[in-house]
Amino acid sequence: MKWLRILLPLVGLAIVVGSSSFFIVPEGRQALVTQFGRPVAGPYKQAGLYFKLPFIQQVHMFEKRLLKWDGKPNQIPTRDKKYIWVDTTARWRIVDPLKFLKTVGTEEAALSRLDDIIDSVVRDMVSSNLLVELVRSADWKPAPPTPEAAAMAKLEPAKHVQVKKGRAVITREMLKAAAALTPRYGIELVDIQIKRINYVKQVQRRVFERMISERKRIASQYRSEGEGEKRRILGKMERELARIRSEAYRKAQQIRGLADAQATAIYAQAFGQDPRFFAFWRTLTAYKRLPKGKLELLLTTDSQLLRYIRSMPSHLDSPKSRP
């Protein structure tokens, strides 16, 4: 029992010492060992089990994979005096754990240093370039215009600015300028990208108002040209309608004249064959065309309408001959 009482504490102490003597570097991490604040071993960049002196040596773990930096949107004027919000992001990693530990120590402190470095570089690059250079690439080509855009281009020709560098070149220049300042902290800056560019609120409001005014002006010009085209089409239609009516009236009169001439010729031919019968038939036709009902006519005794009535035999006109 006495030996057991002595052995158990020794085993516990051995376990504690053993667990403090070994450490594991996980995949995607790297480690540095310090003794009383001074680096004595490492960096260990391969995953595995490593040894250190217990209690007096300390292990510092750092991320080996890419890390993310997101800056705060900044209001920056461009070279052509356009005030814009620029939102950037970057990717970085720790390549020298010893320098990193000596200069910044933690990832939070490193992000604070990157804020100062990247923000100043982005501000310098934006202020020294035109807005069009920041939003377009050097190989940018406009898409084929739609019919509406083509019509608008005729009304208001677009002013194309030649892009010399473009956004991709500017971001590479940002990366080169900022990456030159990070190795002193044991950091490698891998990439910088502009996430978003937008006008500040005051400028944005003026831009929207100018766009609305421009669209209203173009719409008014469209309406004016449409009204003129409408009047031209209506005038052409009225002239064409008048021409068609005139032509139709001329043809109708011509046909009517030919028909009247043909009817007159037929009447003349019929009259020439039997003038007495023709006169009789015309008189009967005149009787038929007289209005029906009670009618009073004032006729002379030598009227043509009474010629056949006067020539009727007296016995046909007597009351006895009537049915």
Per residue in 176-194, pLDDT (tens digit) is 999 999 999 999 999 999 9
SS3 79: coil
Instruction: Give domain status of residue 209, yes or no.
Output: no
Cα angle for residues 177, 180, 185 (degrees, 5° grid) = 130
Q: Are 185 and 113 in contact (CB under 8 A)?
A: yes
What's at 242, amino acid-wise? Answer: A
The continuous run of DSSP H or E covering 227 comes out as: helix 201-273
- Helices 147-155 and 201-273, packing angle to 10 deg: 100
Instruction: Give domain status of residue 176, yes or no.
Output: yes
Q: Measured between alpha carbons, how far is residue 239 from residues 228, 249, 251, 268 in Å?
A: 16, 15, 18, 43
Backbone φ and ψ for 29, nearest 5 degrees, come out as -125, 165
Domain that holds residue 43: 2-63
Using DSSP bridges, classify how beta strands 22-25 and 29-35 pair: parallel, antiparallel or unpaired. unpaired
The string of pLDDT tens digits covering residues 76-109 is 888 888 888 889 999 999 999 888 988 898 889 9
> Are both 243 and 278 inside the same structural domain?
no
d(CA 58, CA 224): 83
Q: Measured between alpha carbons, how far is residue 79 from residues 11, 62, 127, 132 in Å?
A: 73, 41, 5, 10
**Six-digit token pair at 95?**
């390549």
Instruction: Give domain status of residue 30, yes or no.
Output: yes
The string of pLDDT tens digits covering residues 107-166 is 899 999 999 999 999 999 999 988 888 888 776 666 665 555 555 455 444 455 677 788
> Are both 79 and 191 inside the same structural domain?
yes
> Are both 195 and 130 inside the same structural domain?
yes
The string of pLDDT tens digits covering residues 106-119 is 889 999 999 999 99
State the alpha helices, DSSP H only, in 83-200. 97-103, 107-127, 131-135, 147-155, 166-179
Instruction: Give domain status of residue 72, yes or no.
Output: yes
Backbone φ and ψ for 310, nearest 5 degrees, come out as -70, -30
Instruction: Give domain status of residue 174, yes or no.
Output: yes
The string of pLDDT tens digits covering residues 273-312 is 777 777 777 777 777 777 777 767 676 766 766 666 666 5
What's at 103, amino acid-wise? Answer: T
Give the domain CATH number at 193.
Answer: 3.30.479.30
Instruction: Work out how many domains the chain is built from and give that number.
Output: 4
> Are both 80 and 161 inside the same structural domain?
yes
Q: Are 98 and 44 in contact (CB under 8 A)?
A: no
> Are both 175 and 189 inside the same structural domain?
yes
> Are both 86 and 154 inside the same structural domain?
yes
Backbone φ and ψ for 24, nearest 5 degrees, come out as -115, 130
Instruction: Give domain status of residue 206, yes or no.
Output: no
Q: Are 20 and 56 in contact (CB under 8 A)?
A: no
> Are both 85 and 109 inside the same structural domain?
yes
The pLDDT score that the predictor gives to residue 91 is: 95
d(CA 46, CA 64): 10
- Residue 5 burial class via C-beta count within 10 angstroms: exposed 0-12, middle 13-18, buried 19 and up: exposed
For the cut 60, the answer to whether the pLDDT of residue 16 exceeds it is no
Beta bridge partners of 90: 69, 192
pTM greater than the 0.85 cutoff: no
